[in-house]
Chains A and B, each alone.
Chain A
Amino acid sequence: MLDLSLPWWGWLLMGAGLVGFIAMLVVSIRRNQGVKRSLFASPYTLWMIIFTVLPVILIGYYAFTDMNGNFTLDNFRNFWDSNYESNKVIMQAMGEAGAAYVSRGTVNVDTLVYSLWMAFKCTAICLIAGYPAALFMADRNMKLGPTLVVLFIIPMWMNFLLRTIAWMSLLEDSGLINSFLRKLGFDGVQLMYNSNAVLLGMVYNFLPFMVFPIYTVLNKMDFRLSEAAADLGCNSWQTLYKVVMPLSIPGVISGITMVFMPSVTTFFIPRMLGGGNTMMFGDLIESKFLVEGNWNVGSALSLIMMVLILISLSILRKADPNGEGGGIA
C-alpha cells in the first residue's frame, strides 16, 4: 500500500538534512548552554526553498524555454496567439502569400478575460450577499453570532467536489428543480451547462470565505463607536455607511482576495457545472499540462496568472496597508 517512491539519493539527502539539523542543534546547545532559537527555523527554511521557491523557479524556467531547453519567448506569443505555431508553418511554406491564411487564435486571451469577468461577478455577488450576512451575524442583539459562524463552517467539511456534484442533481434536466417545475405544470428549464450554473457553483463554494473575514473585523469593532454616532445624531443608515462600513474595509479586502483568487483558477466547478461549454483559465492550464503535455506553454500561462494575481494583491494591499483583515479564523 505504502508506495515510498523516492529514489535512494532522495532518502540520502533527507537523512543528511536531518542529521545536519540535529548536529547543529547539539552544537548550539553545547556552545550557548541553550539552543540558539533562531536556528529552529532552519529546517523550515530548507523545506520551503526545496518545495516552494525551487518549484516556482522551475515554472519560470519552463515558461522561458522551448522543448530543448533554449531560451525563447514563443510560449508567451503562444498565449497571445494560440495559432502561433501553425501560422509559423504556413508562413514558412507559403512565404508572403501565406499572410492571407494566417489569423490570430484568441482562445487563450478570451479564456483569461472570461475567467476574470466570471471571478469578478462571483466576487461581487459574494460581497453583496455576504456583507449583510456578516453584519447581521456580528449584530450584538443577535446573540447567536458564534453559533452562526459554526453553521457557516460546517458545510465546508463536506468534500467540495461532492457538494458541487450535489448541485448537479438539483439543476440537471431530470433534477429536482426541473421535476418540481414539471409537476407544477411548467416546462423544464435548462439550468446546467452554462455560465450561470458555473457562477452559482462558485458563489456557493466561496461565499463563506467572504463572510468570515468581514465578520471577524465587525465583531472586533468597538461597538461604542456606532453608539456614539447614534448619540451624535446619525440615523442607523448614516451610522452604517459612515462608521461601520469604513471600519470594515480590511475585512472586505481580505474577503475579496480570498474569493477572487480561487475563482479565477478553479477548474473543477466549470468542468462539472459548465460541462465543458465554459472553459476557464484553470481548465486551460490543466489541459495544457495533462492533456497536451505542453509544459512550456502551460508554465507561461501559470506565470501570467501568478503575475496578474500578484498585481491585484498589491493593489488591494494599498487599500489595507496594515493587513488587519484576518483570515478564516
Chain B
Amino acid sequence: MMKFLKRFYLGIILVFLYVPIGVLIVQSFNAGKSRAKWEGFSFRWYVELFQDTRIMNALYVTVSIALLAMIFATILGTLAAIGIYSMKKRPQALMMTLTNLPNTMPDIVTGISLMLLFLFTKVERGYMTMLLAHITFDVPYVILSVLPKLKQMNKHTYEAALDLGATPTYALTHVIIPECKQGIITGAMLAFTLSLDDFTISYFTTSPLVQNLSTLIYSAARKGIEPSLNALSALMFISLLVLLLIVNRRTAENN
C-alpha cells in the first residue's frame, strides 16, 4: 500500500512536469495555427520550419554558440582547474571564491553587468558578445566538475610518472588529463546544455539583430508563437532523447 502511494505521488509529479511538454508536441502537429483548437493532424509546421529563415538563423546562432562556448570553456576551465589544484592554500581559496561568485549572482545581474561592460567599452552587442558571455558563465561549471576529479586522484601517480622518466608535460597529458577525463566530459556537457537553454544572459548581451532561439521565442511570444517553433523544440527534444538513449545503451554495453 505504502509503495503504491509513493509511486502514485511520484507519478503525479511527473505528470505535472510532462503535461506542458505533451501539449507542446501535440500542438506542433496541429494543422491550424490556434493554440486551443485541434484542426487535424499535419506536418505543416515541420515543413514551414525549414523554410523560415529567422528560425533557421536562430538555430544556427544557438547551436554554434553552444558549441564554441563549450569548447572554449572546457579548455579554459580544465586548465584553470589544474592550475587551481596545484596552487597554495591562500590563492586557491581566493580562486574558489572567484569561481563561486557567478553562482551567487542571479542571471539577470550577470546579464546586466555584462551589458554594462559592453556599453561602457562601446563594444557593439552581437554574436561575439553573446559568445563571450556564454563562455563566462560556462567556465565555472567546468571547473566545478573537473576539480573534484583532481582531488580524488592519487597524488603519487603523477610523481611516479616523473620518477619513471616522464617529462612533466608528458605526465600532464598522459596521467592528469586522463584521470579527470570524466569530469571534463561532464563539465563540457553541462556547459553545452546551459548555453543551449540560456535566455536571460543572452537577452542582455545580444542585439535584436542576432537572436538565439530563446530570445527569438521571447520576441515572438507577444504576437503569438509560431507553431513551427513548437515543431523545432519537439525535434530538438526528441533528438536529445535519442542521444541519451544511445549513450545509455553504450555505457550499459561497456559495463
Contact = CB atoms under 8 A, between A and B. Distances in A.
11 contacts: A32-B168, A37-B85, A40-B82, A44-B143, A51-B132, A55-B113, A157-B193, A162-B233, A169-B36, A170-B20, A176-B23
Interface string B121-154: 1111111110011011001000111000000000
A97 B115 CA distance: 43
Contact of B108 (A3, A41, A265): A265
Contact of B117 (A54, A141, A207): A54
Interface string A119-138: 00000000001001100110
B124 A5 contact: yes
A155 B133 CA distance: 25
Interface string B54-92: 000100100000000000000011011011111110010
Given A41-B83, A158-B233, A55 B98 contact: no
A81 interface: no
Given A55-B117, A133-B13, A313-B104, 17 more contacts: A35-B172, A43-B79, A44-B79, A44-B83, A50-B117, A51-B114, A51-B132, A55-B114, A136-B7, A136-B10, A152-B17, A156-B197, A162-B217, A165-B217, A272-B221, A285-B112, A299-B116
Contacts of B79: 40-41, 43-44
Nearest to A29: B169
Interface stretch (A83-91, A106-114, A244-252, A301-309): A301-309
Interface in B145-183: 145, 167-169, 172
A70 interface: no
B18 interface: yes
A297 interface: no
Interface residues of B, number: 96
B29 interface: no
B31 interface: no
A6 B130 CA distance: 12
B145 A262 contact: no
Q: Is the interface of B mostly helix, strand, loop or mixed?
A: helix
Contacts of A35: 168-169, 172
Given A132-B9, A282-B108, A176 B36 contact: yes
B157 to A, nearest CB: 15
A52 B109 contact: no
A229 to B, nearest CB: 17
Interface string A38-59: 1111111101101111111011
A272 B219 CA distance: 12
A310 B103 CA distance: 11
Contacts of B193: 157
Contacts of B186: 329
A141 B7 CA distance: 11
B105 A306 contact: yes
Nearest to B76: A44
B49 interface: no
Given A159-B217, A305-B109, A175 B126 contact: no
A167 B106 contact: no
Contacts of B88: 38
A268 interface: yes
Interface of B: 3, 6-7, 9-10, 13-14, 16-21, 23-24, 27, 35-36, 57, 60, 76-77, 79-80, 82-88, 91, 95, 98-99, 101-102, 104-110, 112-117, 119-129, 132-133, 135-136, 139, 143-145, 167-169, 172, 186, 190, 193, 197, 199-200, 204, 209-210, 213-214, 217-218, 221, 225, 229-230, 233, 236-237, 240-241, 244
Given A4-B128, A155-B17, A265-B109, A10 B120 contact: no
B6 A136 contact: yes
Interface string A313-324: 100000000000
A1 B63 CA distance: 14
Contact of A158 (B24, B35, B86, B204): B24
A39 B83 contact: yes
Interface of A: 1-7, 10, 29, 32-35, 37-45, 47-48, 50-56, 58-59, 62, 129, 132-133, 136-137, 139, 141-142, 148, 150-152, 154-170, 172, 174-176, 179, 204, 207-208, 261-262, 264-265, 267-268, 272, 282, 285-286, 289, 295, 298-299, 302, 305-306, 309-310, 313, 327, 329
Contacts of B127: 2-5
Given A39-B83, A47-B139, A55-B114, A162 B109 contact: no
Contacts of B3: 141
Contacts of A264: 106
Contacts of B129: 5
Nearest to A142: B6
Contact of B104 (A38, A53, A141, A309): A309
A169 B244 contact: no
B14 A5 contact: no
B9 A10 contact: no
**8 A-B pairs closest in CB distance:** A34-B168, A41-B83, A55-B113, A40-B83, A44-B80, A166-B20, A265-B106, A169-B35
A7 to B, nearest CB: 6
A158 B82 contact: no
Contacts of A157: 193, 197, 236-237, 240-241
